[in-house]
Amino acid sequence: MEQGYIAKTSGIGAKDKIGYAFGDLASCLVFGLTQSVLNKYYTDVLEISVLSVMVMTIVARIWDAINDPIWGRLIDGARKYPDGRYRHWIKVFSVPTALAAVLMFLDVRGFSAGGRVAWIYFTYILFGMLYTCINIPYGSLAQVITSDDKERSSLSVFRSVGSTFGAMPAMVLASMCYVTLADGRKVMDQTRVLVGAAVIAALSVLFYFLCYRWSRERVDTSPAPREKGQTAKVIKTLLGSRPFMAVSLASMLYLAAQMFGQGYNTYLFHHYFNAPGLTMLPTVFQYLPVAVIMLFATKLGSRYGRREVCAAGMLLAAAFYILLFVLSLFGVASVWLYLAACLMSGVGSAFIFLLVWVLATDAIDYNKVTYGLNDEATSYAFYSFMRKLGTTVATILINVPLLRIGYDGGSLRTEGLTETALQSMYHFSVIIPAALFLLVFLILQFMYPLSKQRTQELQQQKEKLLSGQNQ
């Protein structure tokens, strides 16, 4: 019996999965620097105001709204190179992206105040552009490694595991880049940050190369037509696609919650719990369940539906933060109770963390079958931009409390903080994740239409479409 097209363009092995995971590991190595180190480097070492940093991230996102779709269209319309339509760009942009990451941490303290601000704008936006140039083809690569939805689900899990390991070096650098002054104060050391960033950037090149070498494009795709107004047509289609917009919004809000927790806990543990040495534990506790759930996330997603398990997980994650808030109203709040809730919340959030990428590829498949949209790179560029918006939302949610407290050159002026203000700080730390997780649950449950049954039907429709196109 003759194999169907999906069967012919599937059959990935461990090498494919690990190679694909290395791509996000490499991306998160350099991207992690911007999340764990850069904000504090700007304020403490370069003495840039918190407000200037916030404005810079907003300006960068405005530029991304222009740059990301343009680059997506260029990738979609580019010819197929001997080493693949998407793998080729990973090879081309791995070194420039790494170099741009290092540029952000050069010592420009000798510049004027305006010169330092101009420098961070230039290097931050440059890094964002080059990161887009490599991240969009990498994200689109899953579409051509295999056309089987179960194998793509497995790729999503491995990608998420790669991102977990990729984020760790920046977290380590954030903890080890301090020196103690003669008066006993600990301050961020520019040289340590620069050397650490250079090492991390070099590692990203290595893992990008391994991703390039170990990935294989099995699905043959043709360049999208370069017609006048095609970009606007694609964007209009994406905005009208219910599955695609739902997963984009869900991913944006989930990432905002994730990044908010990692950044805000630095201040919560310092001032409310008076336990700065435990700052990293909430992130560790939330990621611990991933190590277990990754072993059966794909099977549970296949059995009960990917949307279904992710939505249920988000509801569970929100419930534990709501419980913390309710207990705090009765005066019950401790560091260990908070960490226990982080661990249990991590059980729920692990599913969307591991499966969010296959939810996105399912939505892109839906657009292909329903609207005939073959612009995978442009679609992923839009999705990537929505995730970047999530990081901007997190930056705002983290820095607004800093403005209220008063952040000045690396020291928090907290002498005037009342018990009420500290309690508000705690409430903020649990209400925001609870609200964001609840929104993600509602979006997945009621807006994202690709249930288990609908996804199975989509696979059958895709088989007919691809078989007809490749006869």
Question: Over 80: is that where the pLDDT of 222 sits?
Answer: no
- Among 119-133, 145-159, 209-223, top mean pLDDT goes to 119-133
pLDDT of residue 412: 46
Confidence grade of residue 410 (pLDDT, cut at 50, 70, 90): very low
C-alpha count within 13 angstroms, C-beta hemisphere, residue 417: 19
Backbone angles phi, psi at 414, to 5 degrees: -115, 15
pLDDT of residue 324: 95
The answer to whether the beta carbons of residues 413 and 405 sit under 8 Å apart is yes
Question: Over 70: is that where the pLDDT of 152 sits?
Answer: yes
The β-bridge relationship of strands 186-188 and 178-180 is antiparallel
- Residues recorded for the chain: 471
Confidence grade of residue 413 (pLDDT, cut at 50, 70, 90): very low
**pLDDT, tens digit, for every residue of 282-308?**
888 888 898 899 888 888 988 999 999
Region 431-439: what's the mean pLDDT? Answer: 95
* Rg (alpha carbons) of the chain, rounded to whole number: 22
pLDDT of residue 313: 96
Instruction: Tell me the pLDDT of the chain averaged across its residues.
Output: 86
Spatial distance between the Cα atoms of 276 and 417, rounded to a whole number of angstroms: 17
pLDDT of residue 437: 97
| Per-residue buried b or exposed e for 112-132, using 16+ beta carbons within 10 Å of the residue's own CB | eeeebbebbbebbbbbbbbbb
DSSP-derived letter for residue 81 is B
The answer to whether the beta carbons of residues 378 and 244 sit under 8 Å apart is no
Tell me which residue of 188, 28, 163 sits closest to 105, measured CA to CA. 188
What tokens were used for 123? 């290097």
Question: Over 60: is that where the pLDDT of 1 sits?
Answer: no
| Per-residue buried b or exposed e for 183-205, using 16+ beta carbons within 10 Å of the residue's own CB | eeeeebbbeebbebbeebbebbb
Region 24-41: what's the mean pLDDT? Answer: 86
Residue 227 has a CB neighbour count (10 Å cut-off) of 9
Question: Over 50: is that where the pLDDT of 335 sits?
Answer: yes
pLDDT of residue 424: 79
| Lowest mean pLDDT, pick from 78-87, 96-105, 442-451 | 78-87
pLDDT of residue 418: 66
Confidence grade of residue 439 (pLDDT, cut at 50, 70, 90): very high
Question: Over 90: is that where the pLDDT of 258 sits?
Answer: no
CA distances from 4 to 100, 154, 216, 234 (A): 44, 21, 19, 29
| Lowest mean pLDDT, pick from 44-58, 101-115, 455-469 | 455-469
Alpha helical stretches, state H, 37-49: 38-40
Q: Name 182's Cβ contacts closer than 8 Å, sequence gap at least 6.
A: none
| Lowest mean pLDDT, pick from 136-145, 158-167, 257-266, 318-327 | 257-266
Confidence grade of residue 278 (pLDDT, cut at 50, 70, 90): confident
pLDDT of residue 406: 60
Tell me which residue of 430, 288, 305, 266 sits closest to 353, measured CA to CA. 288
Q: What percent of the chain has pLDDT over 70?
A: 92
* Dihedral over Cα of 459, 464, 468, 471: its sign: positive
Spatial distance between the Cα atoms of 274 and 284, rounded to a whole number of angstroms: 19
DSSP-derived letter for residue 188 is E
Region 263-270: what's the mean pLDDT? Answer: 75
Please work out, in degrees rounded to the nearest 5, the angle formed at the alpha carbon of residue 222 by the alpha carbons of 221 and 223: 125
The answer to whether the beta carbons of residues 135 and 24 sit under 8 Å apart is no
* 9 three-class SS: coil
Look at the block and give the residue holding tokens 């793998």.
Answer: 87
- The residues with which 411 forms a beta bridge, in sequence order, are 408
